[in-house]
Amino acid sequence: MVIQPKIRGFICTNAHPVGCAAHVQEQIDYVKAHGTIANGPKNVLVIGASTGYGLASRITAAFGSGAKTLGIFFEKEASENKTGSAGWYNTAAFEQAASKAGLWNKHLNGDAFTDELKSQAISLIQSEMGKIDLVVYSLAAPRRKDPVTGDIYSSVLKPIGQPYTVKNLNTSKREIEDVTVEPASDDEIFNTVKVMGGEDWERWLDQLQAAGVLADNCQTVAYTYIGKELTWPIYGKATIGRAKEDLDRAAAAIRQKLAPLHGNAYVASLKALVTQASSAIPIMPLYISLLYRVMKAEGTHEGCIEQIHGLFQQGLYQPSPQLDDGGRLRMDGKELAAHVQAQVAAMWDQVTTENIDELTDYKGYHQEFLRLFGFGYSHIDYDADVASLVTLENLAN
């Protein structure tokens, strides 16, 4: 079939298998070009492994350290007349490249919040991997079913305390507009923490440790975004912010539990990037478009793979990594530099629909958004007939 992008609001409802493979190969090439990561991981579990920072973590572990990788994801399978999700095609491309390189890789496609999938992962680790020395938690989901009570919780993206009106880039209309977001109720705050906080991360580590599949000196890391004044009202001092605070709580709890193994748990704060998750958050498309313009101009812009490769080399696999006052690993220093934030803030006050291309990197934002789904590559013929049916031969059931 001929596959052209179908964009609805802030999501793309289809994906291109050839383009997704190109997106994955770019990241593999970057990691291979930077050589072996000293003292890197050998047996890695990535929870949320098919897109964004999770995918970059899996690529970095495999091609930077030669690690065995078990990827957990929840993606839509491809068929002969309908495309799979981008994460499905990303995983197929990774799997093919890893297998060709002689790297062990397996996957589980299902709901990572369930104890059933956790048990499947543990069984696979016990039978085929050996003990895990790195657990990456990079899960992004709008809802979660509590495995104990059966209650279903849904997250919201809202401020806390009072309504918040802010400039926003409407990517569907390509317009700058004001958007008002009403404050969250107490129930909405609680539900968002249940979905996006650290409870499931902690549950994964509890069950892995109880099963005896964690290695001595194992590490685990969960990813977050902290930001600064411009994004705090909707991303920091908001429902998402409360959930991120719970990640810090979980990290401390996990760290204490891993003490007998001399293990460690970190929250890593990463740079704002175009991801399927960030595209849905009010304020972020405009903020990211302005940020990209500033950071590209000064040569400090990084994508997912640069951030994660740097995290492995400068943080997780440094003998004494630098931590902030909250004990977090920080990869967002270049973004949060005072001069960068000052330039973004100045342009924020000036930007209008008429001067989007002059003041922002909207074109770069849009191109990166398309590439998340395998579109926007100049060397790919998107009018050509391609097979949508791509299978995951190593998929573990």
Nearest CA to 50 out of 12, 86, 97 is that of 86
Q: Going along 110-233, which residue ranges are E strands?
A: 132-137, 143-145, 152-154, 164-170, 175-181, 214-224
Q: What is the DSSP letter of 236?
A: I
Residue 264 and residue 219 in contact, taking contact as beta carbons nearer than 8 Å: yes
Instruction: Identify the bridge partners of residue 330 per DSSP, sorted by sequence position.
Output: 269
Q: Helices 52-65 and 86-100 meet at what angle, rounded to 10?
A: 0
Residue 320, Cβ neighbours under 10 Å: how many?
Answer: 5
Q: Going along the chain, which residue ranges are E strands?
A: 7-8, 11-12, 43-47, 68-73, 105-109, 132-137, 143-145, 152-154, 164-170, 175-181, 214-224, 264-269, 329-330
Question: How do strand 214-224 and strand 264-269 relate by DSSP bridges?
Answer: parallel
Name the one residue in this structure whose structure tokens are 């803030």: 345
Instruction: Identify the bridge partners of residue 46 per DSSP, sorted by sequence position.
Output: 71, 136
Tell me the C-alpha to C-alpha distance, in Å, between residue 68 and each of 60, 123, 132, 173, 281. 11, 15, 9, 44, 34
C-alpha 83/C-alpha 89 separation (Å) is: 9
Residue 171 and residue 10 in contact, taking contact as beta carbons nearer than 8 Å: yes
Active-site annotation holds for 235 = yes
Residue 380 and residue 92 in contact, taking contact as beta carbons nearer than 8 Å: no
Greatest CA separation found in the chain?
60
User: Which of 30, 223, 235, 362 is the catalytic position?
Assistant: 235
Tokens for 319, please give them.
């003998």
Q: Which residues, 6+ apart, have CB-to-CB distance to 50 below 8 Å?
A: 71, 73, 75, 85, 86, 87, 88, 90, 91
Tokens for 271, please give them.
């740079």
Radius of gyration of the chain measured on its C-alpha atoms: 20
Residues carrying an active site annotation: 235
